[in-house]
Amino acid sequence: MPAPPDRKTLIAKMKEAAKRLCKPRVTQADFQRLTGIGPFRVKRIFGSHGELLQEAGLVEHAPSQRIPDDALMRVIAQTFCREKGLVPYDRFKKVGRHSIHAYWRRWGSWTAALLAFRQWQAQHDLDFPYAD
Protein backbone atom coordinates (compact mmCIF):
# COMPACT_ATOMS: atom_id res chain seq x y z
CA MET A 1 0.00 0.00 0.00
CA PRO A 2 1.48 3.39 -0.99
CA ALA A 3 2.22 5.96 1.67
CA PRO A 4 -0.34 8.76 2.05
CA PRO A 5 0.59 11.92 0.15
CA ASP A 6 2.51 14.58 2.01
CA ARG A 7 2.23 18.37 1.78
CA LYS A 8 4.63 18.70 -1.16
CA THR A 9 2.88 15.92 -3.11
CA LEU A 10 -0.55 17.47 -2.59
CA ILE A 11 0.68 20.84 -3.85
CA ALA A 12 2.20 19.22 -6.94
CA LYS A 13 -0.99 17.25 -7.60
CA MET A 14 -3.11 20.42 -7.24
CA LYS A 15 -0.95 22.25 -9.78
CA GLU A 16 -1.14 19.25 -12.12
CA ALA A 17 -4.94 19.10 -11.76
CA ALA A 18 -5.23 22.83 -12.57
CA LYS A 19 -3.08 22.32 -15.65
CA ARG A 20 -5.19 19.34 -16.81
CA LEU A 21 -8.42 21.29 -16.30
CA CYS A 22 -6.96 24.45 -17.89
CA LYS A 23 -8.38 26.63 -15.15
CA PRO A 24 -6.95 28.41 -12.14
CA ARG A 25 -9.46 27.06 -9.62
CA VAL A 26 -9.86 23.37 -8.94
CA THR A 27 -12.92 22.38 -6.96
CA GLN A 28 -12.72 19.81 -4.22
CA ALA A 29 -14.78 17.40 -6.34
CA ASP A 30 -12.52 17.86 -9.38
CA PHE A 31 -9.40 17.38 -7.26
CA GLN A 32 -10.74 14.13 -5.83
CA ARG A 33 -11.89 12.90 -9.24
CA LEU A 34 -8.50 13.60 -10.88
CA THR A 35 -6.23 12.49 -8.04
CA GLY A 36 -8.24 10.03 -5.98
CA ILE A 37 -7.33 12.08 -2.89
CA GLY A 38 -10.32 12.89 -0.74
CA PRO A 39 -11.13 16.00 1.26
CA PHE A 40 -10.27 14.30 4.56
CA ARG A 41 -6.61 13.92 3.54
CA VAL A 42 -6.43 17.54 2.33
CA LYS A 43 -8.07 18.84 5.49
CA ARG A 44 -5.76 16.80 7.67
CA ILE A 45 -2.65 18.32 6.09
CA PHE A 46 -3.80 21.84 5.11
CA GLY A 47 -6.88 22.51 7.19
CA SER A 48 -9.01 23.23 4.14
CA HIS A 49 -9.19 22.93 0.37
CA GLY A 50 -8.75 26.70 0.12
CA GLU A 51 -5.45 26.52 2.01
CA LEU A 52 -4.18 23.93 -0.46
CA LEU A 53 -5.17 26.21 -3.35
CA GLN A 54 -3.29 29.11 -1.76
CA GLU A 55 -0.19 26.99 -1.09
CA ALA A 56 -0.26 25.84 -4.71
CA GLY A 57 -0.40 29.48 -5.84
CA LEU A 58 -3.82 29.06 -7.40
CA VAL A 59 -6.72 31.49 -7.26
CA GLU A 60 -8.91 31.24 -4.21
CA HIS A 61 -12.31 32.91 -4.07
CA ALA A 62 -12.19 36.20 -2.24
CA PRO A 63 -13.82 36.02 1.15
CA SER A 64 -17.40 37.12 1.17
CA GLN A 65 -17.59 40.86 1.25
CA ARG A 66 -20.62 42.92 2.05
CA ILE A 67 -22.09 44.40 -1.12
CA PRO A 68 -22.73 48.12 -0.56
CA ASP A 69 -26.39 49.17 -0.40
CA ASP A 70 -25.82 51.49 -3.35
CA ALA A 71 -24.60 48.60 -5.52
CA LEU A 72 -27.63 46.48 -4.62
CA MET A 73 -29.96 49.36 -5.46
CA ARG A 74 -28.26 49.99 -8.79
CA VAL A 75 -28.78 46.34 -9.68
CA ILE A 76 -32.50 46.66 -8.96
CA ALA A 77 -32.67 49.77 -11.17
CA GLN A 78 -30.71 48.10 -13.99
CA THR A 79 -32.84 44.98 -13.80
CA PHE A 80 -36.09 46.96 -13.89
CA CYS A 81 -34.84 48.95 -16.90
CA ARG A 82 -33.63 45.82 -18.71
CA GLU A 83 -36.95 44.07 -18.03
CA LYS A 84 -38.89 47.24 -18.97
CA GLY A 85 -40.76 47.53 -15.70
CA LEU A 86 -40.97 46.48 -12.10
CA VAL A 87 -39.93 42.89 -11.64
CA PRO A 88 -41.74 40.59 -9.21
CA TYR A 89 -39.76 38.58 -6.70
CA ASP A 90 -39.85 35.30 -8.69
CA ARG A 91 -38.56 36.98 -11.84
CA PHE A 92 -35.87 38.95 -10.01
CA LYS A 93 -34.57 35.67 -8.53
CA LYS A 94 -33.94 34.49 -12.09
CA VAL A 95 -32.62 37.64 -13.74
CA GLY A 96 -31.07 39.68 -10.92
CA ARG A 97 -27.31 39.91 -10.73
CA HIS A 98 -27.13 39.25 -6.98
CA SER A 99 -28.87 36.57 -5.00
CA ILE A 100 -32.26 37.55 -3.67
CA HIS A 101 -30.89 36.49 -0.27
CA ALA A 102 -28.58 39.51 -0.23
CA TYR A 103 -31.69 41.71 -0.26
CA TRP A 104 -33.45 39.60 2.38
CA ARG A 105 -30.48 39.71 4.72
CA ARG A 106 -30.13 43.45 4.34
CA TRP A 107 -33.78 44.54 4.49
CA GLY A 108 -35.65 41.55 5.89
CA SER A 109 -37.93 40.92 2.90
CA TRP A 110 -38.29 41.66 -0.80
CA THR A 111 -41.06 44.14 -0.04
CA ALA A 112 -38.84 46.01 2.40
CA ALA A 113 -36.02 46.00 -0.18
CA LEU A 114 -38.40 47.55 -2.74
CA LEU A 115 -39.40 50.23 -0.24
CA ALA A 116 -35.72 50.97 0.38
CA PHE A 117 -35.20 51.05 -3.39
CA ARG A 118 -37.97 53.61 -3.77
CA GLN A 119 -36.27 55.88 -1.23
CA TRP A 120 -32.88 55.33 -2.88
CA GLN A 121 -34.30 56.02 -6.33
CA ALA A 122 -35.90 59.28 -5.19
CA GLN A 123 -32.47 60.50 -4.04
CA HIS A 124 -30.16 59.05 -6.70
CA ASP A 125 -31.97 58.31 -9.93
CA LEU A 126 -34.51 61.04 -10.63
CA ASP A 127 -34.89 59.95 -14.26
CA PHE A 128 -35.85 56.37 -13.39
CA PRO A 129 -38.66 55.63 -15.87
CA TYR A 130 -40.63 53.26 -13.62
CA ALA A 131 -40.81 55.43 -10.48
CA ASP A 132 -44.59 55.64 -10.61
Do 50 and 74 lie in a common domain? no
Residue 22 lies in a domain: yes
Q: Which residues of 14-52 are buried (b: 16+ CB within 10 A; e: fewer)?
A: beebbeeeeeeebebeebbebbebeeeebeebbeebeeb
Same domain membership, residue 73 and residue 44: no
The pLDDT tens digits for 38-89 are 998 998 888 888 888 888 888 655 556 678 888 888 888 888 888 888 888 8
Q: What is the pTM assigned to this prediction?
A: 0.50
End-to-end CA distance of the chain: 72
Examine residue 64 and state whether it is found in any structural domain, yes or no: no
Q: Are residues 78 and 103 in the same domain?
A: yes
- The pLDDT assigned to 21 comes to 80
Task: Provide the domain limits for residue 103.
Answer: 69-124
Instruction: Indicate if 110 and 86 belong to the same structural domain.
Output: yes
26 in a structural domain: yes
Do 45 and 87 belong together in one domain?
Answer: no
All residues at 6 or more sequence positions from 59 whose CB lies less than 8 Å from its CB, including other chains: 24, 25, 53
> Are residues 110 and 76 part of one domain?
yes
**In contact, 35 and 21? CB cutoff 8 Å:** no
Number of independent structural domains in the chain: 2
